[in-house]
Amino acid sequence: MKRAMAALPILIALIFGAFFLWGLNPDRDPNAIPSVLISQSAPDFDLPAIEGIGAPGLSRQDLTGSAEPVVVNVFASWCVPCRAEHAVLTRMVERDGVRLFGINYKDKPEDARAWLENLGNPYERIGSDLNGRAGIEWGISGVPETFIVAGDGTVLYRYVGPVVGAEAEEKFATALAQARTRSGGNS
Amino acid sequence: MKWKTLAAAMLLAALPFTAQAVEPDEILDDPALEARARDISKDLRCVVCQNQDIDSSNAGVARDLRLLVRERLVAGDTDAEVIEFVRARYGDYVLLKPPFKPETYALWLAPAFLVLFGAGAVIIVLRSSRKRQVLNRLSDDDERLVAEILAAEKEGRS
């Protein structure tokens, strides 16, 4: 009993030490919000097209049906990081053959149109989410956010913030590769 | 008369601190529903400016969620249903008061456990230190022995 009591302070120090080690880990982002959507079915939404850009609107049905996973990107013309991310997304579509869908979040149609005309449109379909309601359905906290959705409509991955920079792009590419092997294994 | 002026001045000075994020166009016509909406909003965390509730946050998403809460209330949802609606989309994280369930047992029970542990440690330390105290009074046997020695000495001397 006496010996066990003597070991107690060391045990407490170890427990607290482990907690601090976890808390001070530079890779841990204390502001990261766990997404409830992962491994869940994609939310139901139906968004109209932005007039005059030639790409149709986006609803949940458009995400399902293909064997390959698809990428859903939430963007806006007023979002500065989206401009940087646009080049990365365009490259993903042109080089890797990714099927990319867009949710144009709280954006005036004319602004979105000008933005896409200026930078080019890599999106297969774009839904215009004027009041931000679809954004809430997806549980987003800001723009940009990017999701990977499997062919059966299951959300596999969520990236908060712009997919820009080697580290972010690698993370996203890894997630996409995993999603592809998953759907490849199913069929 | 003077104190009335002072009171009015203080009320006016405090006015800016009561400024709300809730904008006039969001407020519902029904005061009862609006009061419920305010109560619900105070329990929901803003996902942009974390640690602030949506009732006091100026973030765009917070405003959308405030409008959503009011919309659900007007549609006839109960308070619990409204909170569940938001929780289903943003997770437990959005609740400022986390629910009591297996994942959060440690969170809810750790304070009570630490208090009990500390109190136990204090009691044990105090007990053992009292035991170690030196007695300033002789035991009955020693007292008798001293009396005998003293008596023997007295006899020897006389």
User: What would the pLDDT profile of B67-111 be if each residue is shown by its tens digit?
Assistant: 999 999 999 999 999 999 999 999 888 999 888 999 889 889 999
Non-local (6+) Cβ contacts of B19 within 8 A are none
**Domains of chain A (ranges plus CATH)?**
38-186 (3.40.30.10)
| B37 in contact with A, Cβ within 8 Å | no
A89-97 mean pLDDT: 93
Residue B27 confidence (pLDDT) above 80 = yes
CB of B24 within 8 Å of a chain A CB? The answer is no
Give the pLDDT of residue A187: 43
The answer on pLDDT for B16 being more than 50 is yes
Lowest mean pLDDT among B11-15, B29-33, B132-136: B132-136
Sorting pLDDT into bands at 50, 70 and 90, what band is B60? confident
What pLDDT score was predicted for residue B17? Answer: 62
More confident residue, A125 or B21: A125
**Residue A72 confidence (pLDDT) above 50:** yes
Looking at the predicted structure, is the pLDDT value of residue A147 above 80? yes
Cβ contacts of A139 on chain B, cutoff 8 Å: 89-91
How large is the angle between the packed helices B31-43 and B60-74, nearest 10 degrees? 130
CB A143 within 8 A of CB A114: no
B68:A136 CB<8 A: yes
> Which residues of chain A lie closer than 8 angstroms to B90, CB-CB?
33, 36, 139
Is the confidence at residue B14, as pLDDT, over 90?
no
For chain A, percent of residues with pLDDT exceeding 90: 72
Indicate if the alpha-carbon torsion angle B112, B84, B92, B96 is positive or negative: negative
Give B91's contacts in chain A (Cβ within 8 Å).
33-36, 139
Helix axes A80-96, A109-119, angle to 10 degrees: 50
pLDDT score at B25: 84
Q: What is the pLDDT of residues B110-141, one digit of tens each?
A: 999 999 999 998 998 898 887 766 667 788 88
Ramachandran area for residue B49 (φ above 0: left; ψ -120 to 50: alpha; else beta)? beta
B30 to chain A, closest Cα gap in Å: 23
For the complex shown, is ipTM > 0.85?
no
- pLDDT for A100 beyond 70: yes
Q: DSSP per residue over A125-142, as a string? A: EEEEESSSHHHHHTT--S
Q: Is the pLDDT of residue A86 over 90?
A: yes
Among A61-65, A86-90, A167-171, B22-26, which is the least confidently predicted range?
A: B22-26
Residue B37 Cα, gap to closest chain A Cα (Å): 18
Which amino acid appears at position A18 of this protein?
Answer: A
CB atoms within 10 A of CB B125: 10
Domains delineated in chain B: 2-99 (1.10.8.640), 103-157 (no CATH)
